[in-house]
């Protein structure tokens, strides 16, 4: 072996042993964690850090930095040990792993650590997020950075990984490099394929990837594989690295029963000695080519002007109109859709800006991960599908909240009002699902004007935001100049004689307006509130209605649990979230009647189904008279 190569291998070995030692030390100090999952990938990380990763730690937002994702987030002791070796955290901070107030949480979290792009720990998600970053790099920003994703073999059983593999191949993302740490052992024993690297490689090739099988503890083999991956011009690469869990220590190497278990102080001392003892090597990480950073944020080049809608128009089509208009205002606006763009109307954006539209096909989990990955690269990402199918991606959505990602989702064809397609297509739980996401915004427009304005408002909204749209065309209620601030509502009818207040959104607002007309003929006055902002909800207006009328009747095309009705009830609940629910409200909680979809619907016309569900004008009238 040439002298230079020998010296390089010695550097890899020294760094890898330090990474193992520090992974043991910090987890033993914490009394919990996953040292053996970190130890198996230490050699892979050492070679990457010392010779291939291009990253400016002083400028983590640099547009041309490589991206590093630990999809097997439980191996974060290795990531944090790498940060120490890179000189960006101290040994003292390393030993704060998993302690209250530490930046080094039990799984990696961005914002807390500036070098982490996405939260991981729920397995099967890192690759999709990486594919989103790679799309931004190759097609939008045209930058030469690479996305390195460390995968665990257990998570290869997740379907979302294979969705991401298919998407990366479809878009020829040669800038994605997956590193499969095939250490054979999962949480409770051997993984599905164990050390059958041929099977992983064959499957990856079947998905259109270049696959390279190596010994994950052989430094020369690792280096060759990385060079081969970087030389790819058409395909993404998966490096299938055969490793040992707990490698380097006799007590743990390839031994079952060590997943998620730290070594005792006595075991750690012996293992550290076996690995050569403590060291504080600092490795110089290569920086990428200096390029101007692309600014993040929603700064636009022009003004959003809402179309002048007349007559009847669907909110789902207004969503497409708004995207098309906003595409000309915001050059970083990107749209994803799950092969239903002709129904969600995202096709309008696709036709106008094909270079910023990505078809993800029927892969909602992958689409969520891509949207999150794109957001880390400063893109204003909108993703749309039928509302019912967002339930498949819920784990990605909640993880996006943990990532503090800005992600804008739209669900069309919600509720029984979609008609004959039947319950498999009827989102009846989406409001509850999205309301439960930390820091989320949930919007439900009732006409085309409010829909278009709310799409614009989502651009400025941090966190996960969700827009629920309706399949049916509905009457246009507002002038184009109206404002729809998030957290607001619209009072469509109000008088001093109101007996009750009807609160609705979307399709049920139009049923409520029909009821208003019929009740007015009988001399019964009611207040009508369009609660287009479900979360945050307009507390002040609802509290005032509760003081001034005998009851609140909430009507929604959704199950009774967790939707608009519960959002209204929460206005009057005392909680520890900083809201003073009783401030300005009634002394006692008001009479609240919830009209929602109680039984399992079938097929029928929209009118038939609304009536059968108990949320049509007829039932609203009956509820008011019962008051």
pLDDT, residue 1, reads 39
pLDDT (0 to 100) of residue 590: 87
Give the pLDDT mean for 591-608.
96
Nearest 5 degrees, angle CA 439-CA 445-CA 446? 155
- Does residue 4 surpass a pLDDT of 50? no
What's the mean pLDDT when you consider all of the chain? 95
- CA atoms of 189 and 538, how far apart (whole Å): 51
| Percentage of the residues of the chain whose pLDDT score is greater than 70 | 96
Local confidence band at 281 (pLDDT 50, 70, 90 cut-offs): very high
pLDDT in tens, 334-385: 999 999 999 999 999 999 999 999 999 999 999 999 999 999 999 999 999 9
Q: Tell whether the model's pLDDT for residue 242 goes beyond 50.
A: yes
Tens of pLDDT, residues 559-570: 999 999 999 999
Question: What pLDDT score does 299 carry?
Answer: 55
pLDDT band at residue 2 using 50, 70 and 90 as cut-offs: very low
210, 223, 364, 372: the active-site residue? 364
What pLDDT does 3 receive?
Answer: 46
Residue bearing the bigger pLDDT, 584 or 606: 606
What mean pLDDT comes out for the span 515-534?
98
Cα distances from 483 to residues 58, 305, 543, in angstroms, run 42, 12, 21
Task: Give the contacts of 256 (CB within 8 A, at least 6 positions apart).
Answer: 185, 189, 190
CA distance to 4, 134, 427, per residue, from 49 (Å): 18, 20, 46
Per-residue pLDDT, averaged over 391-407, amounts to: 97
Question: Tens digit of pLDDT for each residue in 102-157?
Answer: 999 999 999 899 999 999 999 999 999 999 999 999 999 999 999 999 999 999 99
Predicted TM-score (pTM) of this structure: 0.95
- Per DSSP bridges, beta strands 490-493 and 526-530 are antiparallel
Query: Which pLDDT tens digit goes with each residue over 480-498?
Result: 999 999 999 999 999 999 9
Distance of CA 2 to the CA centre of its chain: 48
Query: Is 289 designated active site?
Result: no
User: How many C-beta neighbours within 10 Å does residue 602 have?
Assistant: 12
Whether the pLDDT of residue 331 is over 60: the answer is yes
Q: Which domains does the chain have, with CATH numbers?
A: 3-274 (3.40.50.970), 312-475 (3.40.50.970), 490-626 (3.40.50.920)
Provide mean pLDDT across the span 523-544: 98
Contact between 610 and 598 under an 8 Å Cβ cutoff? The reply is no
Distance from C-alpha of 339 to C-alpha of 323, rounded to nearest angstrom:
17
Q: How confident is the model at residue 514, as a pLDDT?
A: 98
Half-sphere exposure of residue 202, counting CA atoms within 13 Å on the CB side?
5
């Amino acid at each position: 072996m040439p002298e230079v190569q020998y010296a390089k291998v010695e550097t890899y070995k020294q760094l890898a042993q330090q990474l193992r030692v520090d992974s043991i030390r910090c987890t033993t100090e914490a009394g919990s964690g996953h040292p053996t999952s970190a130890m198996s990938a230490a050699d892979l990380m050492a070679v990457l850090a010392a010779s291939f990763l291009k990253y400016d730690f002083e400028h983590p937002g640099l547009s041309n930095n490589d991206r590093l994702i630990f999809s097997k987030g439980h191996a974060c002791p290795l990531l944090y040990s790498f940060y120490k070796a890179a000189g960006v955290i101290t040994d003292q901070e390393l030993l704060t792993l998993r302690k209250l107030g530490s930046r080094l949480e039990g799984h990696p979290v961005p914002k807390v650590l500036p070098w982490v792009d996405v939260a991981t720990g729920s397995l099967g998600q890192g690759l999709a997020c990486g594919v989103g970053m790679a799309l931004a790099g190759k097609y939008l920003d045209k930058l030469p950075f690479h996305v390195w994703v460390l995968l665990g073999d257990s998570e290869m059983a997740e379907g979302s990984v294979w969705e991401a593999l298919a998407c990366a191949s479809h878009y020829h993302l040669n800038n994605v490099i997956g590193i499969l740490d095939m250490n054979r052992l999962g949480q409770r024993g051997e993984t599905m394929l164990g050390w059958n690297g041929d099977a992983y490689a064959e499957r990856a090739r079947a998905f259109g990837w270049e696959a390279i099988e190596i010994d994950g503890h052989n430094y020369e083999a690792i280096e060759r594989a990385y060079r081969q991956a970087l030389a790819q011009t058409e395909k993404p690469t998966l490096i299938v690295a055969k490793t040992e869990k707990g490698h380097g220590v006799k007590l743990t190497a390839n031994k079952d029963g060590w997943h998620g278990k730290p070594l005792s102080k006595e075991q750690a001392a012996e293992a550290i000695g076996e690995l050569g003892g403590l060291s504080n090597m600092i490795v110089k990480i290569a920086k990428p080519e200096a390029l101007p950073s692309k600014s993040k944020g929603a700064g636009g080049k022009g003004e959003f002007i809402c179309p002048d809608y007349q007559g009847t128009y669907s909110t789902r089509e207004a969503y497409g109109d708004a995207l098309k208009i906003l595409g000309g205002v915001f050059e970083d606006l990107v749209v994803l859709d799950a092969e239903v763009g002709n129904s969600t109307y995202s096709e309008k954006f696709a036709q106008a800006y094909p270079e910023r539209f990505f078809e993800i096909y029927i892969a909602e989990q992958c689409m969520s991960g891509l949207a999150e990955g794109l957001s880390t690269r400063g893109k204003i990402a909108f993703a749309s599908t039928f509302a019912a199918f967002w339930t498949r991606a819920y784990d990605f959505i909640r993880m996006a909240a943990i990532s503090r990602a800005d992600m804008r989702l739209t669900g069309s064809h919600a509720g029984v009002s979609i008609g004959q397609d039947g319950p498999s297509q009827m989102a009846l739980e989406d409001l509850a699902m999205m309301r439960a996401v930390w820091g989320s915004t949930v919007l439900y427009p009732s006409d085309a004007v409010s829909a278009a304005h709310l799409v614009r408002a989502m651009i400025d909204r941090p966190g996960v935001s969700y827009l629920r749209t309706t399949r049916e065309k509905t009457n246009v209620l507002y002038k184009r100049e109206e404002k729809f601030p998030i957290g607001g509502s619209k009072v469509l009818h109000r008088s001093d004689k109101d007996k009750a207040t009807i609160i609705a959104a979307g399709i049920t607002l139009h049923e409520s307006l029909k009821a208003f007309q019929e009740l007015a003929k009988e001399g019964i006055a009611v207040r009508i509130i369009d609660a287009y902002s479900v979360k945050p909800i307009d507390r002040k207006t609802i509290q005032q209605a509760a003081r001034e009328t005998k009851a609140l009747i909430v009507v929604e095309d959704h199950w009774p649990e967790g939707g608009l009705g519960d959002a209204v009830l929460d206005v009057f609940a005392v909680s520890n979230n900083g809201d003073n629910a009783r401030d300005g409200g009634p002394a006692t909680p008001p009479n609240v009647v919830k009209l929602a979809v109680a039984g399992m619907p079938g097929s029928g016309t929209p009118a038939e189904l609304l009536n059968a569900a108990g949320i049509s004008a007829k039932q609203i009238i009956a509820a008011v008279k019962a008051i």
